[in-house]
Amino acid sequence: MRPSARTVDAAALRGIRLYQRFLSPRKGFRCAHAALTGGESCSAAVARIVREDGLIAGRGRVAAQFRACRAAHAALHGGLLPHPGAFGSQVQAGRVQGVCCCGPVPIPFRCG
């Protein structure tokens, strides 16, 4: 018996909330996409996508979010920022901490 899409979506959202509440505050770094753009983190973006489209229907958007995070990590790690101050005070100071959330295991990074 396969779980319904609504059950899968609810489980995914519960998992994201648990991650955001208990793990994320303790890990010591933040999402590379959020660090670079000043926008929402991958967990917030994926939760929004699941609420809007569902996990299965939104999987393309989720994958695109992780690709954007991977690109943000590369930009931060490689120093490919367009100009100082473009993405907020964390980048202005030349010291950015974050995580590349492009897979099942977060990869911490520190630049600057």
Domain ranges of the chain: 5-111
pLDDT tens digit sequence for 54-88: 999 999 999 999 999 999 988 888 865 544 444 44
Strand 107-111 and strand 96-100: the pairing is: antiparallel
Is residue 35 predicted with pLDDT exceeding 80?
yes
Residue 45: pLDDT band with limits 50, 70, 90? very high
∠ CA 52-55-59, rounded to 5°? 100
pTM of the model: 0.69
Is residue 46 predicted with pLDDT exceeding 90?
yes
Q: 49 CB contacts (<8 Å, ≥6 apart)?
A: 58, 61, 62, 65
